[in-house]
Amino acid sequence: MSNKSLDGVLTKKAHTREKFTEEQIADLVHCSDPVKGYDYFAKKFFFIQHPVRGKCIFEPFQYQTKLLSSYHDFRFNINMLPRQSGKTTTAACYLLWYAMFHPDQTILIAAHKYTGAQEIMQRIRYGYELCPDYIRAGVTNYNKGSMEFENGSRIVSATTTGNTGRGMSISLLYCDEFAFVNPGIAQEFWTSISPTLATGGRAIITSTPNSDEDVFATIWRESQNKFDEHGNEQELGINGFHGYTASWDEHPDRDEEWKKQELGRIGEERFRREYGCEFLVFDETLVNSLVLTTLEGKEPTLNMGQTRWYKKLDAHATYVVALDPAMGTGGDNAAIQVFELPSYTQVAEWKHNTTPIPQQIRIMRDICNYIKDETKSSGSNIYWSVENNTIGESALLVINDFGEDSIPGLFVSEPIRKGHIRKFRKGFNTTHKTKITACSRLKNMIEKEKLKIYSKPLISELKSFIASGSSFKAKSGQTDDLVSATLLIMRIISVLKDWDPKIYTSFSQADEDTADKVMPMPIFVSH
């Protein structure tokens, strides 16, 4: 018996007695089959709203059939799929079947945005409303955000936050476009939800890829690592997830001509990410995202406290040490970068957010002393400096108290700019103009493979260092302290070229056609 819901659609009244024909009983048996019931339901009873054909029965493509199997056959699965590949429709079909034919289940849909959650629920509702009465379960509650069935199962949709699903006993979790959830929120959500899944719940994570640094990317990579500690290949990844992906050309309506047109419309970078399922950064990063994918980094060869060393020191080389100070009270990180000249190679780095300023200076001094000792020099091969903005003034006071002579090498300061009226302070003052100029140099030197970067944390920060108005900064929820220290390295080197003939020569060769010969970048964000 049908019953009108609050918004006027027809639903099936709960707990009503029914008579079934033999054919209907056979359909119910097939739909209830624990092995292939979902497939029978999808192909015979689940209707969709096709953009061209309108209302029609769901006829899954081959890869959608594989996707349904992935949902069903594995307790934990993660699916990386091209844009507009029908993943929402496929999920809606499976979740509706699961709720109607599995009693006492709580299904949580956690979507990237509120509109995403509503879209999935709308497709579930559409499919439910077009099912014949004898197939669909009666409902006890039916609205835009949730559905409750007479068998005790329910489907609840919500936007993904750090608290989504907290306190719920979840039978099946579906995460939609998980790669696009704010990284901090995604991490908090996954940390809080994982314990509930460990007690018997299932999880389906589906998304187009975004950054290779987010929670989705981490879970995906672990799902692809299928070798145990003995080197034996397993069906599942080391995290217990089954990973499934599909290529854009598995869609029957997409061919090389379609690809050509789409490339012309959105460009190679977006095509590779959205349709090729490559982990490319979507935002306008300082360094070209295609270049960023080639930066791999390596593990430190030596750890001295929290200072990571990546390369053996060379007695014939010159070293540049830059400190970007911070308060040391748990907010922003203080960061130190060390680069070698003339090879333009990263040698070491350090960062921390609870180290007080006096200790930051001591660590920089320890780094300089280590370089001096290892290269058996007088310190003449070391140049060091600090950013002197706001907090940097405190660092300058500490340096003065310690005495510059206690730190091996030469304290480099930027020349007094023409028309500069502020009192001169040692070190480097960062303005919008000087930051953009340094950004331009860093961008060009990385893209032209003139700068060797070994630090994985620095590479990670570069992947989230994005355009913001007419400048660049870390993406929301991310940090850019190591990048800031590297920008200071660029500025120190640009001063050194006027002092040291050897540095000038190497600098001119490395910096050819880069920042000295281009205007500071006017950045216009079109997204």
Q: Can you give the pTM of this predicted structure?
A: 0.61
Q: Is residue 205 part of a domain?
A: yes
Query: Among residues 246, 266, 293, which one ends one of the domains?
Result: 246
**pLDDT tens digit string along 122-150?**
999 999 999 999 999 999 999 888 999 99
Does the residue 294 lie in any domain? no
Distance CA 14, CA 152 (A): 11
Averaged pLDDT of the chain? 87
Both 241 and 314 in one domain: the answer is no
Beta strands in 152-229 (DSSP E): 154-159, 172-176, 202-207
Q: Does 76 fall in a domain?
A: yes
Q: Do 66 and 142 have their domain in common?
A: yes
- In a domain? residue 526: no
314 and 430 in a single domain? The answer is yes
The predicted structure's pLDDT at residue 121:
94
Q: Is 374 in the same domain as 455?
A: yes
Domain-embedded: residue 297: no
- Tokens 């006492």 belong to residue: 104
CATH number at residue 192: 3.40.50.300
Domain CATH number, residue 410: 3.30.420.240
Q: What is the pLDDT of residues 496-505, one digit of tens each?
A: 877 666 655 6
Of the three residues 246, 270, 294, the one that is the final residue of a domain is: 246
- The answer to whether 275 and 83 have CB atoms below 8 angstroms apart is yes
Name every residue whose Cβ is closer than 8 Å to that of residue 449 and which is 6 or more positions away in sequence: none
pLDDT range class, residue 277, cuts 50, 70, 90: confident
Is residue 359 located within the same domain as residue 227?
no
The reply to whether 230 and 333 lie within a common domain is: no
| pLDDT of 454 above 80 | yes
152 part of a folded domain: yes
The answer for residues whose C-beta is within 8 angstroms of residue 64's C-beta and 6 or more apart is 86, 89, 90
Token reading at 162: 């750090």
On whether residue 15 sits in a domain, the answer given is: no
Task: Please give the pLDDT value at position 527.
Answer: 31
Identity of the residue numbered 2: S
Answer yes or no: do 489 and 391 share one domain. Answer: yes
Looking at the fold, whether 320 and 237 belong to one and the same domain comes out as no
CA 329 to chain centroid? 27
In a domain, 459, yes or no: yes
- Angle (nearest 5°) at CA 281 between 280 and 282: 110
> Domain check: are 325 and 228 in the same one?
no
Position 50 confidence tier, pLDDT thresholds 50, 70, 90: confident
The pLDDT assigned to 339 comes to: 97
Where are the strands (E) in 43-133, listed by range?
47-50, 54-57, 76-80, 106-111
Domain match, 86 and 145 both: yes
Cis peptide before 342 (omega within 30 of 0): yes
Query: Which residue, 525, 223, 283, 503, is CA-closest to 380?
Result: 503
Least confident of 5-14, 260-269, 340-349: 5-14
Say how many domains are in the chain: 3
DSSP annotation string for 261-321: HHHHHHHHHHHHHHTT------S-BSS-HHHHTT------SEEETTEEE-S---TTSEEEE
pLDDT at 53 > cutoff 90: no
pLDDT at residue 506 in the model: 55
Q: What is the pLDDT of residues 359-375, one digit of tens each?
A: 999 999 999 999 999 99
Are 369 and 220 in a shared domain? no
Instruction: Give the structural domain span for 268.
Output: 256-280
State whether 204 and 163 are in the same domain: yes
pLDDT score, position 10: 67
